[in-house]
Amino acid sequence: MSTPPRFATHAVENQPPPLAACDAYATDTALREALAREGGGWGESNAAAYGKLAGGELRECARLANAHRPQLRTHDRNGQRIDEVEFHPAYHRLMASAVEHGVTGFAWRHAERPGAHVVRAALMYLHYQADQGSACPLTMTYACVPALRHAPELAKTWLPRIVAPHYDGRHAPAWDKPGNTIGMGMTEKQGGSDVRANTTKATAIGDGLYELVGHKWFFSAPMSDAFLVTAQTEAGTTCFLLPRFAPDGSRNALRLQRLKDKLGDWSNASSEVEFAGALAWRVGAEGRGIATILEMVGLTRQDCLLGSAALMRQALVLALHHARHRRVFGDLLIRQPLMRAVLADLALESEAATALAFRVVRAVDAGARDPREAAFARVATAIGKYWVCKRAPGFVNEAQECLGGAGYVEESELPRLYRQAPVNSIWEGSGNIQCLDVLRALQREPECAQALLDELALARGALPALDAAVAALAAVLDHPAAIAPERARWLVERLALCLQAGLLFRAGHAALAAAFCAGRLQGAGGWTYGVLPAEAPIDALLERAWREGAPG
Ligand SMILES: Cc1cc2nc3c(=O)[nH]c(=O)nc-3n(C[C@H](O)[C@H](O)[C@H](O)COP(=O)(O)OP(=O)(O)OC[C@H]3O[C@@H](n4cnc5c(N)ncnc54)[C@H](O)[C@@H]3O)c2cc1C
């Protein structure tokens, strides 16, 4: 029906169309190059298949799953406790797609093949662009595997379901499902970073079972089939596998108190929980709980890095799309020199974040076979998590501004990305904790400093600014005991920037690496985006960034 004349106040013009469904893999040159460069090229068909879903149908699922936030149902109509979380069907669709395509299990199902974690990283990177909240249970399910192996008997029965390409969101015992998801509970009210401060008590009751009494202050994805949690035994902090249903099939004694009212991360439920004699199996030796669960945390930190790189990518795509369709002062935004400078600077930051993330994943992947890579992964995961997660909020805000007022409005998708941006920096060890962890690794494990220096040496002689920055770092790394904690952020930031510059150069992008050095290492840039030096390859950066939708 046409608009009645009395309502026809104006013609709607110059409004960019919504970002159409696109192939998030095929249109991402930096991702395709990273996958091949870091040893995951053999899994390209997997990434390509998921790219179409992530850039298409899953974006609408994410909109719905975030608009209809999870609801806690503590009791049924008769007043019986049920402690269930209810999700919109779109959330289950997101979870099922991810699990079936390998976001949780691919790396473990193909563990014999070098590069399996890199392929899986591409799947996670694609998923994260569509929906961020569901990435939380997905990453915990992926990451629990090394820790759970500390309980070989449990691993024998649980791991096949954890790595299976099947999702089953029913509230039912784990052993009645073809696939399981896993959560993690460490943080308590009196202390999160310091897990030793846990007060939850675990008492052995025989048959390898323990009874847990206490609480967790943050407990994400509480509808998971089981959780790796920490609690105190006589020997100290210990790791446990706590199932939603007790071994006899009754509901386990975990009480969901409430869901956190979070800034963002809305498709994901994060709860507060009490354990009222909940039954759990021990994982690893009593008193070794922190070391055991850190094997899981190493991988969730890797995914924080990957997730923030993906978040930047999605924000960049939205900004480029808008700029290619919006006219201002007589021409498209994408043709306005100052906007081109901003977009190119964002593209450069996104490239560098993606390059560092995938290099870290390759080290994680190769670590089991190569001690040098293991040492690099040990320290570079924390470096990358600190720096890329810290860069994300400012990046997303700048991308938002490229859309003007529309970027502040929910329908543009950017407010959701903006709300999500800070969380990767906070959870799984906040910024200071990452920097202190880097310091600890450098001071206690000399092979970590050596692995960093070896890596940085691979780009030696390429860029004078990088050489100078690396020389200054090498002098510091020579005397790790002398590095004061208050210098840790400075050190980690410089290490991250040097690693990123070297990676861009070694990836065959000398001009991008030179611009990165000039803007980020030499001080020729500034504090915001859009301040690259005049000779920066603006056209090349924009050409690489995203082709789809480009005006002719
Ligand atoms: C949305 C969300 C979901 C979460 N889900 C889970 C979950 O599922 N399971 C779980 O276990 N936890 C979860 N967490 C908790 C999260 O991991 C912790 O909040 C985080 O590790 C920080 O712990 P804290 O809040 O106790 O802060 P604190 O430990 O009190 O730290 C506060 C600040 O002090 C800094 N700091 C700490 N020690 C030092 C030091 N020695 N020197 C200098 N600075 C220091 C920290 O970096 C931080 O910035 C979640 C958090 C959020 C926001």
Q: State the sign of the Cα–Cα–Cα–Cα dihedral 477, 481, 483, 489.
A: positive
Q: Is residue 224 part of a domain?
A: yes
The secondary structure of residue 16, as a DSSP letter, is P
Domain boundary among 122, 141, 176: 176
- Nearest-CA residue for ligand 1 atom 48 is 430
Same-domain status, 150 and 209: no
Reported as a single tens digit per residue, the pLDDT across 73-125 is 999 999 999 999 999 999 999 999 999 999 999 999 999 999 999 999 999 99
pLDDT classification of 135: cutoffs 50, 70, 90: very high
549 pLDDT higher than 60:
no
> What is residue 525's predicted lDDT score, i.e. its pLDDT?
80
- 257's enclosing H/E stretch is strand 254-259
Q: Is residue 550 part of a domain?
A: no
Domain boundary among 176, 205, 220: 176
Same-domain status, 134 and 251: no
The secondary structure of residue 405, as a DSSP letter, is G
Cα separation, 273 vs 270, whole angstroms: 10
- How far apart are the CA of 176 and the centre of ligand 1, in A? 34
Same-domain status, 389 and 422: yes
Cβ contact 69:266 at 8 Å: yes
49 pLDDT higher than 80:
yes
342 pLDDT higher than 80:
yes
* Residues within 6 Å of ligand 1 by CB: 184-187, 191-193, 218-220, 262, 265, 270, 423, 426-433
Reported as a single tens digit per residue, the pLDDT across 347-405 is 999 999 999 999 999 999 999 999 999 999 999 999 999 999 999 999 999 999 999 99
> What is residue 208's predicted lDDT score, i.e. its pLDDT?
87
Q: Domain of residue 267: give its range.
A: 182-288
Same-domain status, 307 and 283: no
Same-domain status, 324 and 424: yes
Same-domain status, 266 and 297: no
Q: State the sign of the Cα–Cα–Cα–Cα dihedral 233, 235, 236, 242.
A: negative
Q: Is residue 74 part of a domain?
A: yes
* 186: CATH: 2.40.110.20
416 pLDDT higher than 70:
yes
Report the chain's mean pLDDT, rounded to a whole number: 96
Please tell me the total count of domains within the chain: 3
C-alpha dist (Å) from residue 461 to 394, 471, 499, 502? 32, 12, 14, 11
Reported as a single tens digit per residue, the pLDDT across 209-256 is 999 999 999 999 999 999 999 999 999 999 999 999 999 999 999 999
Quote the tokens at residue 61.
């699922």
> What is residue 550's predicted lDDT score, i.e. its pLDDT?
41
Least confident of 108-122, 154-168, 469-483, 512-526: 512-526
* 360: CATH: 1.20.140.10
- How far apart are the CA of 224 and the centre of ligand 1, in A? 21
SS3 content of the chain, % helix, strand, coil (to 5): 55, 15, 30
pTM summary value: 0.97
Q: Which residue(s) pair with 201 in the sheet?
A: 213, 232
- How far apart are the CA of 181 and the centre of ligand 1, in A? 23
> What is residue 548's predicted lDDT score, i.e. its pLDDT?
66
- 212's enclosing H/E stretch is strand 209-220
- How far apart are the CA of 262 and the centre of ligand 1, in A? 14
- How far apart are the CA of 48 and the centre of ligand 1, in A? 36
- Nearest-CA residue for ligand 1 atom 31 is 193
Q: Please, is 370 exposed, middle or buried when counting C-beta atoms within 10 Å of its C-beta (0-12, 13-18, 19+)?
A: middle
Cβ contact 428:381 at 8 Å: no
Domain boundary among 288, 309, 325: 288
> What is residue 350's predicted lDDT score, i.e. its pLDDT?
98
Reported as a single tens digit per residue, the pLDDT across 511-528 is 999 999 999 999 888 899
Pocket test residue of 140, 181, 187, 486 for ligand 1, highest count of atoms within 8 A of CB: 187
